[in-house]
Amino acid sequence: MERYNAIGVMSGTSLDGLDIVFAEFFFDGNNWFYQFGDYIEIPYSKKWQNKLSNLAQASAFEFARTHVDFGHYMGKKVDAFIKSHRLEVDVIGVHGHTVFHQPELGFTSQIGDGSAIASRTGLLVANDFRSMDVARGGQGAPLVPIGDALLFSKYLARLNLGGFSNISFGGVDDINAFDICPVNIVMNEITRKQGLEYDEDGKIARNGQLVHELLHKLNQLDYYQHNGPKSLGREWVDECFWPCLSTNISDEDLLRTLVEHTADQIAYSLASSKINSGKVLITGGGAYNSFLIERIRAKISLEIVIPDPILVEMKEALIFAFLGVLRIREQPNILNKVTGAKRDSISGALYKGV
């Protein structure tokens, strides 16, 4: 039985903070298994939220400097986490923070200098998982399907409700996966105007009125009319989504309509997969939005499973730890079936801390 100790580090587009998780992975020659260990969620300060959210409009100098600074920030937090729990680690898999994602133009960028993380921790770091796939003509996303297929195969569909919603179906041989629509990247920005980091339990949305004209307009966006491979980035939200949201609509009504839009697109994605029975695993911060979950339940016939909080909150970080393990085994960890690349990739730049 092969065993690997790994750390996953995730910074999502919703800008809520840094997720760090330690996990053990086991391979018996046929199947993979995992065991959660310690984990931590580190909320971003207002300074880091502002810096990361505005970086796409910053100068080249500021971008380069923040890339290094953010790497040292992550490295410092991971090093403290390792030392406080006295962990032995084979590899650190790091997503970084997405600033640009334009695969149609041939580039993607997740900041967080891997050499800075390695120098801070003295350990092996794997990061920049998207670039190789984009170089091969792929979307560079989604990245989690290999983990879904190998670690969560008992679920017919795996849905994540983070900054964006994304979904995967099936196993390695018949997998299908894509980004669905924006979720917390938009909703959280609206609630922050009211001094709240997020809409707890969807209470604000529940008290709003559904704006049918806006709902129709959102559901008709061009992205939703195409099948995968496809992925979303902040640029698409800024260019295509935000302009649809009229300033004449109250925040409550906006959130109510966005919840319905999200539920509509998820239901449509599940229906198009032709899955008629089975379980849907839901993770990500949106899993705690009880109103959103209610609206999804109302539109689908499949059984929804919301797991323990550690999996809800740390599944993506867990899978980046797993991507790091696959990288050091020199095993494909990005699947061209879901990204549209010319072939599978063994992705991740490696930095040795010693």
HEC string of 184-227 equals HHHHHHHHHCCCCCCCHHHHHHHCCCCCHHHHHHHHCCHHHHCC
Residue 249's pLDDT is 94
Q: Residue 296 has which token pair?
A: 């999804």
For the chain, the average pLDDT equals 95
pLDDT > 80? residue 276: no
Task: Give tens-digit pLDDT for 152-170.
Answer: 999 989 999 999 999 999 8
Closest to 218 (Cα-Cα) out of 185, 259, 165: 259
Average pLDDT value for residue range 260-264: 98
**Contact yes or no for 42/84 (Cβ under 8 A):** no
pTM beyond 0.85: the answer is: yes
Average pLDDT value for residue range 212-227: 96
Residue 88's pLDDT is 98
pLDDT bracket for residue 282 (50, 70, 90): very high
What are the two backbone dihedrals, phi and then psi, of residue 161, each rounded to the nearest 5 degrees? -115, 85
Q: Residue 11 has which token pair?
A: 């910074």
pLDDT bracket for residue 232 (50, 70, 90): very high
Task: Tell me what percent of the residues of the chain surpass a pLDDT of 90.
Answer: 91
Average pLDDT value for residue range 125-143: 96
Q: Which domains does the chain have, with CATH numbers?
A: 2-139+314-351 (3.30.420.40), 145-310 (3.30.420.40)
Residue 228's pLDDT is 82
Residue 193's pLDDT is 87
pLDDT > 80? residue 277: no
Average pLDDT value for residue range 248-277: 92
Average pLDDT value for residue range 105-115: 97
How many residues appear in the chain? 354
Tell me the one-letter amino acid at 215: L
pLDDT bracket for residue 58 (50, 70, 90): very high
Calpha distance 3→27 (Å, rounded) = 7
